[in-house]
């Protein structure tokens, strides 16, 4: 990655964390200066000088920039450690506020009856599927059966949730499609039953237009997640797709006055 690519990605990440483009570019410029004037910031960031002042005012209000009221005014960014801690706190606060608002708006009645139906949903994108996998593992109450076909899915976050499940008394059974996966699972999860699937078809044919299974997860024998990918395709966040099946209880007709 070149310096220009790294700078562009940094600006994009800062925007993801709530800064506007000129604010992100001005802050990045200041991290490259011990102190700087609006003119110097403008020259490095390519933000119009008149807009630098607006960006600095916002950055100062967010605790990311300090101002020296000299002539001309001097500006400096807080330390990287302080800036990242501040942004993390602001981001976490927004997430907490969002969660409280969503929970306050969740007025749907709970479903409770003896009948069951099967619901099937689709998920798209590696990050979203990974997050749902972790949530299912965290919510497991009695049993986890997990089959790993794609080796890159063996992450520290996955191991952590599996260990937590074992500590909760959940029965955990893990399968791997390759010797390398089996070896890693045996090393990381010595107390868990590990098996080799020997199902070569899970990887699919070596063709761009054929899909392969990447993971299969069954939780408490009621929730099934199966994800797939194109083995030879470019791996971006959208390369993985999944199907999620849940066994839910239905609402009886008497609940609606029937």
pLDDT tens, residue by residue, 51-106:
999 999 999 999 999 999 889 999 999 999 999 999 999 888 888 888 888 888 86
- Residue 80's pLDDT is 93
Give the pLDDT confidence score for residue 134 in this predicted structure. Answer: 93
Q: What is the pLDDT of residue 46?
A: 93
Nearest C-alpha neighbor of 30 from the set 61, 66, 5, 63: 66
H/E run at residue 115: none
Q: Are residues 124 and 225 in the same domain?
A: yes
Is residue 221 in a domain?
Answer: yes
Whether 169 maps to a domain, the answer reads yes
Q: Which residues of the chain have pLDDT under 70?
A: 106-118, 196-211, 230-239, 247-258
How high is the pLDDT of residue 81?
A: 93
CATH code for position 180: 3.30.870.10
- Predicted pLDDT of residue 12: 93
Quote the pLDDT of residue 60: 94
Residue 109 placed within a domain: no
Range of the domain at 23: 3-98
My answer on whether 153 and 244 are in the same domain is yes
Question: Does residue 233 sit in the same domain as residue 139?
Answer: yes
Q: Are residues 73 and 26 in the same domain?
A: yes
CA distances (Å), origin 138, targets 70, 94, 164: 55, 23, 8
Q: Is the pTM of this model over 0.75?
A: no
Write the DSSP assignment of 47-107 as a string of letters.
Answer: --HHHHHHHHHHHHHTTSEEEE-SSS-EEEEPPHHHHHHHHHHHHHHHHHHHHHHHHHH--
Number of independent structural domains in the chain = 2
Taking the C-alpha atoms of 126, 132, 137 and 140 in order, what is their torsion angle to the nearest 10 degrees?
Answer: -150
């Amino acid at each position: 990655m070149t310096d220009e690519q790294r700078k562009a990605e940094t600006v994009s990440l800062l925007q993801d964390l709530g800064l506007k483009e000129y604010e992100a570019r001005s802050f990045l410029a200041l991290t490259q200066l011990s102190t700087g004037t609006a003119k110097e910031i403008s020259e490095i960031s390519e933000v119009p000088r008149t807009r630098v002042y607006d960006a600095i005012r916002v950055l100062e209000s967010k605790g990311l920039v300090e101002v020296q009221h000299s002539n001309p005014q001097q500006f400096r960014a807080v330390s990287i450690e302080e800036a990242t801690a501040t942004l993390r706190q602001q981001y976490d606060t927004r997430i907490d506020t969002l969660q409280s608002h969503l929970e306050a708006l969740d007025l749907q009645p709970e479903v409770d009856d003896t009948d069951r139906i099967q619901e099937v949903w689709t998920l798209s994108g590696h990050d979203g599927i990974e997050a749902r996998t972790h949530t299912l593992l965290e919510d497991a109450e009695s049993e986890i059966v997990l089959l790993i076909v794609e080796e890159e899915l063996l992450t520290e976050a996955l191991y952590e949730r599996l260990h937590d499940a074992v500590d909760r008394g959940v029965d955990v059974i893990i399968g791997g499609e390759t010797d390398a996966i089996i070896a890693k699972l045996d090393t990381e999860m010595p107390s868990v039953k590990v098996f080799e699937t020997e199902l070569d078809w899970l990887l699919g044919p070596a063709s761009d237009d054929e899909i392969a299974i990447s993971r299969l997860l069954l939780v408490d024998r009621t929730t099934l997640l199966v994800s797939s990918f194109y083995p030879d395709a470019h791996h971006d966040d959208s390369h993985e797709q999944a199907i999620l099946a849940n066994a839910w209880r239905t609402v009886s007709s008497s609940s609606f006055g029937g």
